[in-house]
Amino acid sequence: MSEQSKDVCDPNSAAEASNSEVHSSPGVPGGLSPPASQAATLAGPESPPLGPTDAPLASPPPEAPSEEGDPKALQQAAEEGRAHQALSTAQPGPAPPAPAQLVQKAHELMWYVLVKDQKRMIIWFPDMVKDVIGSYKKWCRSILRRTSLILARVFGLHLRLTSLHTMEFSLVKALEPEELDRVALSNRMPMTGLLLMILSLIYVKGRGARESAVWNVLRILGLRPWKKHSTFGDVRKLITEEFVQQNYLKYQRVPHVEPPEYEFFWGSRASREITKMQIMEFLARVFKKDPQAWPSRYREALEEARALREADPTAHCPRSSVSED
Amino acid sequence: MEEGRAERRRRTEALSHPQGGTRRAGVMTDVHRRFLQLLMTHGVLEEWDVRRLQKHCYRVHDRTGAVEELEDFINNINSVLESLYIEIKKGATEDDGRPVYALVNLATTSVSKMASDFAENELDLFRKALELIIDSDTGFASSTNILNLVDQLKGKKMRKKEAEQVLQKFVQNKWLIEKEGEFTLHSRAILEMEQYIRETYPDAVKICNICHSLLIQGQSCETCGIRMHLPCVAKYFQPSSEPRCPHCNDYWPHEIPEVFDPEKEREAGPSKVSKRSLRSRQH
């Protein structure tokens, strides 16, 4: 993945490329002029952009066009793709693919990312390269850029590199967060309720929750480790394997205890996606009490909420797949 | 780069001058974006959920705007999705005609959508089950027949016990439906894989005489063999007192199910036992 010099397909620069562009503000209908003029300047030289003698078309990446004017945006994206190609073919290498093929790859990648996200699976950069980009590795930056553009324009989602260390991407909402989403489709995803139950138990305890404690709580829902459930299936497998795989929970052996016992902790994904305030609200709903019935936890939740607001004044909250009940 | 220019022109034209119909290129607002996000999150949704979802999206972003008629709303979005080779597709459950919607990819073969979820041998199990379902007369494949094929699977060797669990995984993920030990395709799978199925099994595939879509479960004329979906039968024969085959005019020998009525559905409440119309074994 790192043989080429300039167009090293590295997730960070690719992500930067996509992030610097995609900073669509929620759609204000109208306003065709900015994208149109940019498309016009880029579209200027109608002659084929390929060839090492080309004048550099490396204008700074244009701002993401506002949401209307789709034909213009597509045109612009096509131009960019070609501009990028011009740079990359300055050095001898394999024949560059037609823009149509890059566009197709961008569409494939868009679908791939959407499906991974739908299944709450991790979007891992090496997987993206292996499963979708394949031999177009060299152009992955422009492919990624186009995909991000489409996702922002059509779905209102940011494809963001959440961790350079693990090379993970995630889809983050670009629209304002809306708690009402949960209300709109409540009871549609029972898994969420189950997960929230466990997470809130851990939270209230303030430390890891022993497996036995978790089962005591789940018994209230009529769930037992040995019984198959009509909705959840194998509950034990779900909470000790699937939720763990999805990084919503951590399942670890309790040290120095015989016979062996295990406990649950919040997973990294839960910490990212679920706020303490959401847990408090969940507890309030379930126990029909005021969240302040857990005073120290409530205080923590308030502090976290304040910290989040300060950290991100533009109010782009992390996309919570959980709030989309 | 003639190709590139022509391609770009074609696409621009396609968006601003759609062939056929007066549909102009749609305009995406945050209402549509949120709708798409949530539809994608849920995979497949029934119509009343979709309407609720639409209203919710309007409430969030455009309280003052009038809620567009669902069909137009979806067509609007689809006109934007067209160039991306994806589409919000509408189908119906084969047993009782409940309308369902899903965001589907028209470009790739849809089995690949499952590819990220399942191992090679699991995917192959699904393909084997799919073949049995398509070849069958009733649209159902028995658990036994599917499990007997585990030895022929590609990839790692799978035991029957394991295969049973994999089949359950398919049910939970809404690819298959199980009824009394037999399996058929979930409406989601039909929506997403129709193209793939028609291309892969062009000889074995069955088509409904009325709506011309893929048919897995349905009723068939005993004389001339044409087939119809149960909801299509319901709609087609609703006005007539003496149902006759649309193709050969012979008396239609099966019980005519009721047309799906969303209003009645809501009144009946959450227990849908009474509304379950006959599963057709009437071939």
Is residue B18 situated within a structural domain? no
- B209 and B188 in a common domain: no
Which of A75, A81, A71, A74 has its CA nearest to residue A17?
A: A81
What was the pLDDT predicted at B73? 92
Q: Which residues make beta-bridge pairs with A170?
A: A160
Q: Nearest CB to A156: which of B30, B81, B108?
A: B30
Q: Which residues make beta-bridge pairs with A265?
A: A250
Is residue B15 situated within a structural domain? no
Instruction: Tell me which of A267-281, B116-130, B254-268 is least confident.
Output: B254-268
Its domain, for residue B229, covers: 205-260
Query: Which position has the higher pLDDT, B56 or A78?
Result: B56
What was the pLDDT predicted at A28? 34
Whether residues A156 and B107 touch (CB distance < 8 A) is answered with no
Instruction: Tell me which of A73-87, A101-115, A153-167 is least confident.
Output: A73-87
Query: Which position has the higher pLDDT, A14 or A31?
Result: A14
- B139 and B124 in a common domain: yes
Is residue B220 situated within a structural domain? yes
User: Three-class SS string for A137-202?
Assistant: HHHHHHHHHHHHHHHHHHHCEEEEEEECCCCEEEEEECCCCCCHHHHHCCCCCHHHHHHHHHHHHH
> Is residue A121 within 8 angstroms of chain B, CB to CB?
yes
- B194 and B216 in a common domain: no
Helix/strand/coil for B219: strand
- B198 and B112 in a common domain: yes
Residues of A in contact with B3 (CB under 8 A): 98-100
Q: Which residues make beta-bridge pairs with B179?
A: B182
What was the pLDDT predicted at B28? 83
Residue-wise pLDDT tens digits, B43-81:
888 898 899 889 888 888 877 778 888 999 999 999 999
User: Which residue, among A115, A232, A246, A323, would best test binding to B if mutated, counting the most B CBs under 10 Å from its CB?
Assistant: A115
Query: What CATH number did the domain enclosing B62 receive?
Result: 3.90.1150.220
- B57 and B114 in a common domain: no
Contact B99, B92 (CB under 8 A): yes
Is residue B92 situated within a structural domain? no
Reduced DSSP (H G I as helix, E B as strand, rest coil) percent helix, strand, coil of chain A, to 5: 55, 10, 40
What was the pLDDT predicted at B101? 94
Q: How many domains does chain B have?
A: 3
Q: How many CB atoms lie within 10 A of CB B268?
A: 13
Whether residues B42 and A188 touch (CB distance < 8 A) is answered with yes
User: Which residue, among B41, B58, B165, would best test binding to A if mutated, counting the most A CBs under 10 Å from its CB?
Assistant: B41
> Residue A180 pLDDT more than 50?
no
> Is residue A96 within 8 angstroms of chain B, CB to CB?
no
- B182 and B238 in a common domain: no
Residue the block writes with tokens 């670890």: A252
- B182 and B139 in a common domain: yes
Whether residues A27 and B28 touch (CB distance < 8 A) is answered with yes
Query: What CATH number did the domain enclosing B185 receive?
Result: 1.10.10.10
Helix/strand/coil for B186: coil
All structural domains of chain A: 97-171 (1.10.10.1200), 178-273 (1.10.10.1210)
Is residue B12 situated within a structural domain? no
What was the pLDDT predicted at A241? 86
ipTM for the whole predicted complex goes beyond 0.85 = no
> Is residue A32 within 8 angstroms of chain B, CB to CB?
no
What was the pLDDT predicted at B174? 84
The DSSP-derived string for B36-67 is: HHHHHHHSEEEHHHHHHHHHHHHHHH-TTSPP
Helix (H) or strand (E) holding A229: strand A228-229
Whether residues B56 and A180 touch (CB distance < 8 A) is answered with yes
> Residue A166 pLDDT more than 60?
yes
Is residue B283 situated within a structural domain? no
Ordered strands of the A157-163 beta sheet: A123-124, A168-173, A157-163
What was the pLDDT predicted at A74? 45
| pTM: predicted TM-score of the whole model, two decimal places | 0.59
Residue-wise pLDDT tens digits, A187-236:
445 567 788 889 988 998 888 899 999 998 888 777 888 887 776 777 88
Longest dimension (CA), chain B: 64
Domain boundary among B154, B170, B203: B203
- B178 and B138 in a common domain: yes
- B195 and B232 in a common domain: no
- B222 and B197 in a common domain: no
- Residue of chain A whose Cα is closest to the Cα of B107: A108
- Residue of chain B whose Cα is closest to the Cα of A68: B27
Domain boundary among B173, B203, B233: B203
Whether residues A185 and B16 touch (CB distance < 8 A) is answered with no
Residues of A in contact with B30 (CB under 8 A): 26-27, 156, 175
- Helices A295-311 and A276-287 pack at an angle, to 10 degrees, of 140
What was the pLDDT predicted at A39? 35
Average pLDDT of every residue of chain A: 69
Instruction: Tell me which of A61-65, A140-144, B96-100 is least confident.
Output: A61-65
- B161 and B136 in a common domain: yes
Contact B76, B65 (CB under 8 A): no
- B199 and B216 in a common domain: no
